[in-house]
Amino acid sequence: FLGKDNDSWLWHKRIAHINMDHLNKLISKYLVIGLPKLRFEKDRLCDACQKGKQVRVSFKSKNIVSTTQPLQLLHMDLFG
């Protein structure tokens, strides 16, 4: 049993961290030569896939500065 489990995660990594459902479709339709005829189940989480799905938290919104006169607020590039 342990060998089949290791095979499923090995193929998951080899084929660009493909979803297990998609991996099962590849097997059922014989689309990949050499892929073992196993049923792959998602029984644990892949660390690399989890990190790839993480998103950065948005920046906090800044207070809007409004001006009432021309040239009251200037933006300059001091370094180039």
Q: What is the pLDDT of residues 5-52, one digit of tens each?
A: 678 888 888 889 999 899 899 989 989 888 888 888 878 888 999 998
Q: pTM higher than 0.85 for the full model? A: no
Q: DSSP assignment of 30-79, as one string?
A: T-STT---------S--HHHHHHH--PPPPPPPPPP--SSTTSS----TT
| Residue range of the domain that includes 49 | 1-80
Q: Which two tokens stand for residue 39?
A: 């049923």
Q: What is the pLDDT of residues 61-76, one digit of tens each?
A: 777 777 888 888 888 8
* Number of domains forming the structure of the chain: 1
